[in-house]
Amino acid sequence: MGKIKVGIIGVGNCASAFIQGVYFYGGIEKEEEAVGLKSLYLGGYHPKDIEFVCAFDVEASKVGKDLSEAIFAKPNNTRKVVNVPKLGVKVSKGPILDGFSESARKLVEISPEKEVDVSQRLKESGAEIVVNLLPSGAVKASEWYAEQSLKAGCAFINATPALIACKFEWIRRFLEAKLPLVGDDLMDQIGATIIHKMILKHLSEQGVRILKTYQLDVGGGLESLDTLERTRKIKRQVKTKSVSSVLPYAAEVVAGSTDYVDFLQNRRDSYFLIEGLYYAKTPFQIDIKLSTLDAPNAGSMLLDVVRAVKIALERKISGVLEAVAAYAFKSPPKVVSWDQAQKMFEDFVTRKMEV
């Protein structure tokens, strides 16, 4: 199998976990030893087949450094699991646009380096897939990088909540350019919303009546700070609607990000409350706390998505990849059940379906 040449937009904690994962799993050959992955081999591709050929950021602590060093530069604070060898890829400076919230700008120093021609840099590097890992709320910047990907002839993976892969105009343009597009808003491997929905669905199917429930998230790191300042309201609306959808009746439901706590660093704590009635209207209450590290939560899905997009490139499939989007993203163009999404993804990888 050939290499999968990837360009990274935003060298933050998620990029760090993603890149470390390629080397963490690089020496593993047996599926049973690949703890944390659904598939060590996907469509014949192993994580070690991923090659990082270019990267873009705006922070002084990262721009100009080798990518292997930049992923561990402050303010990145996710877990280090492996020593990444020198990659020979210097982080280039891209435009700021709306890449940072006002609060986040106070915590980072912007590089004085000159901005590069991003589309040209992508071409020169040989990148075939661009992974957008910008912070939540960076809508203009995400769209700008999608534009550069089109100019450079690269497939585009939008891991951010910015709506790109579900918009007709972007789908049309990538289809005309004969390039794959997937997004939007990458799912977590251990997702609080998915867990919440599964519990509520099971209880409801057992005849339990849910009266009140919430899922509130508290996190640290720049991503949580950006979310709190710029996308908290819309994320709460989306998550509340998603959680409510599994109940066949009305209940009091609140779900979404609630606050930022600096000392949590890259950790996220999710708190669940479920109140309701079971047999003979007997009341019950469930309290749950889930603690995860944000960045590693994206790693498994990213490894699957990047390899699936490579498969699409090989088969010359263009436009939005609905099967991949439904499987790995919170806001895909086509929403289906989780069981159906997994089946669609498996069929896509095994050539039983095209998109």
The total number of residues written for the chain in this structure: 355
CATH code for position 175: 3.40.50.720
Burial 229-244 (b: 16+ CB within 10 A, else e): bbbbeebbebbbebbb
Domain span including residue 107:
4-187+296-349
- Parallel/antiparallel/unpaired status of strands 129-132 and 155-158: parallel
- Do residue 164 and residue 112 come from a single domain? yes
Please answer whether residues 235 and 191 qualify as being in contact, where contact means their C-beta atoms are separated by less than 8 angstroms. no
Summarised one tens digit per residue, pLDDT across range 322-352 is 999 999 998 899 888 888 999 999 999 998 6
| 50 domain-assigned | yes
Same structural domain, 242 and 261: yes
In 3D, which of 88, 90, 93 has the Cα closest to residue 60? 93
pLDDT tens for residues 41-87?
Answer: 999 999 999 999 999 999 999 999 999 999 999 999 999 999 999 99
133 and 229 housed in the same domain:
no
7 forms beta bridges with 54, 130
Tell me the C-alpha distance between 106 and 222, whole Å. 11
Give the mean pLDDT of 278-300.
96
Whether 203 maps to a domain, the answer reads yes
pLDDT for res 189: 93
pLDDT at 178: 98
Least Cα distance to 27 among 45, 46, 53, 42 occurs for: 46
| Beta strands at 209-219 and 267-278: parallel, antiparallel or unpaired | antiparallel
Mean pLDDT calculated for residue range 217-224: 86
Last residue of a domain, one of 252, 269, 293: 293
